[in-house]
Amino acid sequence: MTAAPRITIVGASLAGLRTAEAVLAALPEARVTMVGAERYLPYNRPPLSKDAAEALAAPGADAAAVFERLVLKSRLATGAVDMRLGVAAEAMEKDALRLSDGTVLRHDWLVAATGLRPRRLALRGAEGRRFVLRTFDEAVRLGHAMRPGARMVVAGGGFIGCEIAATARKLGLHVTIVEPMEQPMIGALGPRVAAAMAAMHRAQGVTILAGRSVAAVSDSDSAVILDDGRALEADLMVEALGSHPNVEWLEGSGADLSNGVLCDNRLIAQGADRLLAVGDVARFPNPLFGPAPRRVEHWCVPGQTARRAAETIAACETGRDPEPGFAPMPSFWSDQHGTRLQSFGAPALAEAAEVISGDLTQVGTEPVIVEYHRGGRPVAVLGLGAPPAALAPHRARLERALSPETVE
Amino acid sequence: MKVHVDMSICLLHGQCVIAAPEVFSFDDEGQLQWLADVDDGLRADVEAAADACPEQAIRID
């Protein structure tokens, strides 16, 4: 390659930022443009359901000061990247990208880092009392509504739902989680751990209505109607029902967009060989867990996939093949009622869970460590209120057990 | 390179200990310890540790 490659990164959150840094570290001559639909510099989202949510709900909260603490530290030199913030990617036009301000950007490589947007209930009405939680602006809006004594319904008991429920309890709201499955977080944690977590939420005063969903909202009074006809009084409702990958702008690119962007292990999109995907939208095979490509919505994935995407681009630009076998260890954490959950591996893929330290009836008061198995092999380790030093050896053991050399 | 951890925002997730065990560790009381002055040969690991910190508490100079 002679000319400096033009690299357009769409998405200016964690994955986009880390990709820009990694690309410029590997290819200092690259001309990098980053496009972000939000008007904000890249910021850290996990606190939006935890400490930042609490700070934003405080009377007279200073949103700018809260935001300041969320801005991601960056290794980018000033002016190293052409940042287009407050502008969305609209559509592909052959090998160029059209933006919402009418600009058309040409590129040699395109990196999709557009992340997710919350799924909404397919219901109309009561818009002023309905909230989602993904962006800072949404968190500010929710913060204004989280007043002590207010009645909050959380539709969906995933991690975001359970975290915002715990935060709201701490702020003195009355909180009900409406979860369609048998327990909140059951898909992510399995039935035994999910039941223990549900017990902890109940002990903290959260009402859990499991096996139920929201069927209607009333405009005339403050009712939320469930699928069994029951009416809940709700001053506010948070819709925490999972997410959709933001990939519509890639229609016509040739990529498989059936669930995020289908990529190979190099993170190059299948069907579009100048397109890569990173972060929440990337669906790729991880040799730690077999050949099936998966999308993983954990905070660690943006950094891991960003480095991989940069390595792939740099290798292609210099006529090398990228190293095979990208096998990042997934991890996630969640903070609920002062208890930290820390997971390594993929508990969602497990068939069974075994408590290897502590007692699940004591979650929230004593440390508990759970190991998850599939096909007789460990696939994940989860600590509940366990100190990181106690988890570290289990994580190392898991890494050995999952390494592709050991598996096959 | 100089490594600094802002202990006023660190919540002991321990991600740095995993990313760069040569530099970050837990002591017997479970408190975070780190090397303040690190050879540049470890820069990639330390940068990975800083990136992996959920609280963004690690500064590299």
The pLDDT of A342-351, averaged and rounded, is 95
Q: Does A94 touch chain B (CB under 8 A)?
A: no
Helix (H, G, I), strand (E, B) or coil at B24: strand
Mutation target among A13, A300, A382, A399 for the B interface, most CBs of B within 10 A: A300
Which residues on B lie below 8 Å from A391 (Cβ)? 14
A141-178 pLDDT tens trace: 999 999 999 999 999 999 999 999 999 999 999 999 99
The pLDDT of residue A407 is 46
C-alpha to C-alpha distance for A40 and A252, rounded to whole angstroms: 29
- Residue A362 CA to its chain's centroid (Å): 28
On average, the pLDDT of chain A sits at 95
Do residue B12 and residue A333 have CB atoms under 8 angstroms apart?
no
The pLDDT of residue A81 is 97
Do residue A388 and residue B48 have CB atoms under 8 angstroms apart?
no
> What is the complex's ipTM, to 2 decimals?
0.89
Do residue B17 and residue A392 have CB atoms under 8 angstroms apart?
yes
Given a cut of 60, whether residue A406 has pLDDT beyond it is no
- From the number of C-beta atoms within 10 Å of its C-beta (0-12, 13-18, 19+), residue A319 rates as exposed
Give the strand order in the sheet containing A104-106: A89-93, A96-99, A104-106
**How far B14 CA sits from the closest chain A CA (Å)?**
6
Give me the residues of A, 375-404, that contact B with CB < 8 A. Answer: 387-392, 395
Q: Does A44 touch chain B (CB under 8 A)?
A: yes
A288-340 pLDDT tens trace: 999 999 999 999 999 999 999 999 999 999 999 999 999 999 999 999 999 99
Q: Does A303 touch chain B (CB under 8 A)?
A: yes
The pLDDT of A185-190, averaged and rounded, is 97
Domains of chain A listed by start with CATH number = 6-39+86-117+244-317 (3.50.50.60), 120-241 (3.50.50.60), 338-402 (3.30.390.30)
Better-predicted residue by pLDDT, A36 or B61: A36
Nearest CA in chain B to A388: B14
Quote the tokens at residue A56: 């934003």
Banded pLDDT at A408 (limits 50, 70, 90): very low
List the domain boundaries for chain B: 3-60
Banded pLDDT at B30 (limits 50, 70, 90): confident
A176-185 pLDDT tens trace: 999 999 999 9
Lowest mean per-residue pLDDT among A30-44, A166-180, A217-231: A217-231
The pLDDT of A82-101, averaged and rounded, is 94
Do residue B50 and residue A73 have CB atoms under 8 angstroms apart?
yes
Banded pLDDT at A95 (limits 50, 70, 90): confident
Do residue A388 and residue B47 have CB atoms under 8 angstroms apart?
no
Do residue B17 and residue A342 have CB atoms under 8 angstroms apart?
no
The pLDDT of residue A94 is 78
Do residue B17 and residue A18 have CB atoms under 8 angstroms apart?
no
User: What's the per-residue H, E or C state across chain A?
Assistant: CCCCCEEEEECCCHHHHHHHHHHHHHCCCCEEEEEECCCCCCECCHHHHCHHHHHHHCCCCCHHHHHHHHECCCCCCCCCEEEEECCCEEEEECCEEEECCCCEEECCEEEECCCEEECCCCCCCCHHHEECCCCHHHHHHHHHHCCCCCEEEEECCCHHHHHHHHHHHHCCCEEEEEECCCCCCHHHHCHHHHHHHHHHHHHCCCEEEECCCEEEECCCCCEEEECCCCEEECCEEEECCCEEECCHHHCCCCCCCCCCEEECCCCEECCCCCEEECHHHEEEECHHHCCCEEECCCCHHHHHHHHHHHHHHHHHHCCCCCCCCCCCCCEEEEEECCEEEEEEECHHHCCEEEEEECCHHHCCCCCEEEEEEECCEEEEEEEECCCHHHHHHHHHHHHHHHCHHHHC
Decide: A163 and A139 in contact? Cβ < 8 Å: no
The pLDDT of A239-257, averaged and rounded, is 97
* Domain covering B3-60, topology: Alpha-Beta Plaits (3.30.70)
